[in-house]
Amino acid sequence: MYDVLIIGSGAAGLTLALSLPHTCKIAVLSKDVLTEGSTVYAQGGISAVLDATDSVASHIEDTLNAGAGLCDEAAVRFTVENGASSIKWLLEAGVPFTREENDTNRLHLTREGGHSHRRVAHAADASGAAIEHTLVGQVRQCNNITLLEHHIAVDLITSRKLGHRSNRCIGAYVLNRKVKRIQTLQARFTVLATGGASKVYLYTSNPDGASGDGIAMAWRAGCRVANMEFMQFHPTCLYHPHAKSSLITEAVRGEGGRLLLPDGSRFMPRFDPRAELAPRDIVARAIDHEMKRLGLDCVYLDISHKPRDFILSHFPNVYATCEKFGYDMSKEPVPVVPAAHYTCGGVMVDHNGQTDVDALYCIGEASYTGLHGANRLASNSLLECLVYGKSAAQNIMQRLQEPALDLPIPNWDESRVTDSDERVVITHNWDEIRRFMWDYVGIVRTTKRLQRARNRIELLLHEIDEYYANFRVTSDLIELRNLALVAWLIIRSAINRPESRGLHYTLDFPKTNAKLEGIPTILDPMTTYHAH
């Protein structure tokens, strides 16, 4: 038995693992290699109040403004107030943040859309990679941490599922992808740090593993979820048939990049006085509007008016990616389109990351803390991972003396299933979900489109459940099952919000409804009808 089972190996999960005492017996699960998650692809950085001209009040105000009346102010304050100490912890861990050229004692801070100050600490334009590789290096040196790469969680084990009156999480069933066998991992405390669900959309900046596993498992275990209709679309993904998941960081616009139509004219000033520095939802919707209005495949992002040396020093990785696909961003505009990027909703938790199920925690993108509201402010996400990773660790430490719930756990039963000879069912359903989510539940929605999507997903959930019951579990089937459930949660949440706010924009209710100010969309598995 482990003291703590951490499902996910990004910034949130690793921060938690490193913040627990060395006497703790910990397992960290990763679907693939440890570094293959959303954290490593994060370009921008971490927002925190690090400059004398900035203030906690200003960072809170910017976050609340971006969140469009749906942030939990206490969660925002808690997160922002812990920002500077989070950066200090990363610096002590050895993260190579970019420094000022003329004063290496000071961090170089950049500014991104929605921020009123320069407050984003970064490691060039590959901040996530720098953080992930540093934390992985530290975790590998800890003898108390078992790293289980190529393992994917199938489902959580709870006392209620075993017939107990209480609902406490006591571990998880896990598929070892190398040997294709399901293991039972028992733990006193289980933490979901599984990332978001943007793979539910056809075009996404996220890696393949972002299939909403933690959110789906938590729902099945009895946890409420909130604000799943608020899926953030990054305005600028490189538009090229082979440029999979290639983001062009927000910081390019923060440093003066302009969005252009094919004729070279700017369009953002027509949509918002902040132009290219408006929050992401406004920029993504403006791009979507112009593409539909003019029948365009893409728009263009131009920073070629800046000196070449400036571009190479600030955006070396973005420059290299663009060059690989035939674009020189120091000489020409590059083609961009919006893509699903961040899940603002998730599993409901308190300031300790504790869910509705006892001994089950959820941190990072899979969680709903109340920080992001109706739209995430740029570079607040890695900050949330660190702050809640730390607070969950502190809460678990306080509970380590509690007696474990000693229940016999049955092994996974595969006696009545067979290997499937119809893998096409999985690939077809996966593709169908991602296409209709993009078409019907994307940047701009209507009630009719949402109802179509709901009807289709409920049919697919029945299909997938039947398949799951009859065939041996594979990682593709696990992800499809989770993806379908999360798609259903997104659709139900979107139908339940008859207004446009932040990332949720519907043509049938184009205005914000003042009566819904401060009210998150909450779905409860105990009371919400669902198709399976």
Record the tokens describing residue 422, joined without a space: 């119809």
Q: What is the pLDDT of residues 72-107, one digit of tens each?
A: 999 999 999 999 999 999 999 999 999 998 888 899
pLDDT at residue 532 greater than cutoff 50 = no
Using CA of residue 45, residue 217, residue 198, residue 60, what is the dihedral sign? Answer: negative
3-state helix, strand, coil split of the chain in percent (to 5) is: 35, 20, 45
Distance of CA 182 to the CA centre of its chain: 26
Mean of pLDDT values over 334-343: 93
Q: What is the pLDDT of residues 456-513, one digit of tens each?
A: 999 999 999 988 888 889 999 999 999 999 999 999 999 999 999 999 999 999 999 9
Note the pTM of the prediction, 2 decimals: 0.91
User: Strand 2-7 and strand 26-29: pairing?
Assistant: parallel
Interacting residues of 506 by C-beta distance below 8 A, sequence separation 6+: 444, 445, 446, 447, 450, 494, 497, 498, 499, 500
The pLDDT of residue 460:
95
SS3 letters across 210-253: CCCHHHHHHHHHCCCEECCCCEEEEEEEECCCCCCCCECCHHHH
Rounded mean pLDDT of the chain?
A: 93
Tell me the one-letter amino acid at 30. Answer: S
Q: What is the pLDDT of residues 229-281, one digit of tens each?
A: 999 998 999 998 777 668 898 889 989 999 999 999 999 999 999 999 988 88
Tell me the one-letter amino acid at 213. Answer: D
- C-alpha torsion 165→171→176→180, nearest 10: -10
Record the tokens describing residue 337, joined without a space: 């389109």
The pLDDT of residue 425:
82
Long-range contacts of 285-290 (CB under 8 A, 24+ apart): 285/443, 285/444, 285/505, 286/259, 287/235, 287/259, 287/336, 287/337, 287/338, 288/338, 288/442, 288/443, 288/444, 290/261
Q: What is the pLDDT of residues 434-462, one digit of tens each?
A: 999 988 999 999 999 999 999 999 999 99
Mean of pLDDT values over 381-391: 97
Mean of pLDDT values over 176-203: 95
The pLDDT of residue 207:
83
Domains and CATH numbers, the chain: 2-229+344-399 (3.50.50.60), 235-340 (3.90.700.10), 423-513 (1.20.58.100)
Mean of pLDDT values over 18-39: 93
Task: Please give the Cα distance from 54 to 61 (Å, whole number).
Answer: 12
The pLDDT of residue 519:
97
Mean of pLDDT values over 14-33: 96
Catalytic residue among 111, 280, 492, 501: 280
Residue 280 falls in the annotated catalytic set: yes
Question: Mutual orientation of helices 475-495 and 213-221 as an angle, nearest 10°?
Answer: 70
8 Å CB contact between 142 and 23 = no
Task: Please give the Cα distance from 398 to 392 (Å, whole number).
Answer: 10
Record the tokens describing residue 348, joined without a space: 């409901």
